[in-house]
């Protein structure tokens, strides 16, 4: 049985499905629930001269909206989750949050892509599976309208 669940949310249709499935599991198991709203950094891809205080503020505003949306979706399902927002690389942010909260399960989404683009492919980069010691539930496909 899981005691603590980390729900990873990025605002995509696939992310909404993972959030829904994770919320259903957390509700059924009466677990502590943590929400990690992840926003990839727009600043990392920007040319140094293009980085302005306005762009940085925009990125933080987008991440805050993402977090608020995720928390609202969990509350609508009767869950009270602790939420935090993170900007950057999910392969660094997710394992850090999992360790910090000592979770038993990570719930995240996966978008079907080409064979070479998958995060668990034969890429030289480590996969999330190599970076955590807890279970991972991967929700695939977009959220159904039910």
Place 35 in a pLDDT band, splitting at 50, 70 and 90: very high
146 within some domain: no
Residue 55 has pLDDT above 60, yes or no: no
Report the pLDDT value the prediction gives residue 29, as an integer from 0 to 100.
92
Q: Are 108 and 16 in contact (CB under 8 A)?
A: no
Please state, in angstroms and as integers, the Cα–Cα distance from residue 120 to each residue in 65, 66, 87, 113, 127, following that order: 29, 25, 22, 11, 5
Residue 82 has pLDDT above 60, yes or no: yes
Q: What is the CATH number of the domain that holds 64?
A: 3.40.50.620
Place 106 in a pLDDT band, splitting at 50, 70 and 90: very high
- Mean of the pLDDT values across residues 51-76? 69
Could you report the per-residue pLDDT of 12-22, keeping only the tens digit for each? Answer: 888 889 989 99
145 within some domain: no
52 within some domain: yes
> 3-state DSSP helix/strand/coil percent for the chain, to nearest 5?
45, 20, 35
- Mean of the pLDDT values across residues 49-64? 55
65 within some domain: yes
Retrieve residue 15's tokens.
């992310």
Number of structural domains, the chain? 1
123 within some domain: yes
- Mean of the pLDDT values across residues 81-106? 90
- Mean of the pLDDT values across residues 3-18? 89
| 35 Cβ contact list (under 8 Å, min separation 6) | 6, 7, 9, 19, 67, 70, 71, 74, 81, 82, 83, 84
Task: Tell me the CA end-to-end span of the chain in Å, nearest whole number.
Answer: 27
61 within some domain: yes
Q: What residue numbers bound the domain in which 43 lies?
A: 4-140
Retrieve residue 37's tokens.
């709203």
Report the predicted TM-score, pTM, of the whole model to 2 decimal places. 0.77
């Amino acid at each position: 049985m899981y005691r603590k669940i980390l729900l990873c949310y990025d605002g995509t249709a696939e992310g909404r499905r993972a959030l829904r499935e994770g919320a259903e599991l957390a509700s059924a198991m009466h677990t502590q629930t943590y929400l990690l709203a992840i926003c990839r950094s727009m600043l990392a891809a920007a040319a140094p001269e293009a980085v302005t205080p306005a762009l940085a503020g925009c990125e933080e505003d987008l991440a805050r909206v993402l977090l608020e949306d995720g928390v609202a979706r969990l509350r609508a399902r009767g869950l009270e989750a602790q939420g935090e927002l993170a900007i950057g690389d999910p392969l660094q942010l997710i394992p850090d949050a999992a360790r910090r909260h000592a979770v038993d399960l990570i719930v995240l989404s996966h978008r079907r892509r080409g064979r070479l683009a998958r995060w668990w492919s034969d890429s030289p980069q480590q996969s999330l599976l190599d970076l955590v010691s807890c279970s991972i539930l991967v929700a695939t496909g977009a959220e159904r309208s039910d």
